[in-house]
Amino acid sequence: MGPALLYLKSATQMSKEYLAYIEELELVEQTLVAIQRTAITIAKLPVEDRAAAFHEFGRAYAIAMGEDTTPAAKWFETVMMGVRELVAEIDKTDGHYLTVGPRLTPR
């Protein structure tokens, strides 16, 4: 195998790894945006309606994940924890909140 072929094989492998990494970053970005939107939606509800909303959003996230595995359960718990914490922060700041547009990948 010549040097050019080795370089091409190495570059192709690195390219595949980079694409997988970018896909992971995009998934994280989409999750952060979903957490923000969910929290803002729930925070706008009357306090007495929020428990049902948390339950319904939780069901939607669980269905979206579509897997009954330990990593899926951990992801679900992390997402719901983020939503609850952001709702609490919105409440604490009297409805003033900062939405962050994560830019983990170049556009």
- Taking the C-alpha atoms of residue 92 and residue 10, their distance in angstroms, rounded to an integer, is 52
0.75 exceeded by pTM: no
Number of domains forming the structure of the chain: 1
Question: Mean pLDDT lowest for which of 19-23, 27-31, 54-58, 83-87?
Answer: 19-23
Sign of the dihedral defined by the CA atoms of residues 45, 50, 53, 54, in that order = positive
Show the domain range for 9. Answer: 3-92
Q: What is the mean predicted confidence (pLDDT) over 18-30?
A: 79
Beta strands in the chain (DSSP E): none
User: Does 104 reside within a domain?
Assistant: no
Q: What gap in Å lies between CA 95 and CA 90, rounded to an integer?
A: 5
Q: Is 98 a domain residue?
A: no
Question: According to the model, what pLDDT value does residue 54 have?
Answer: 92
pLDDT digits (tens, 9 = 90+) for 60-76: 888 877 777 888 788 88
66, part of any domain: yes
Asked if residue 105 has pLDDT above 50, the reply is no
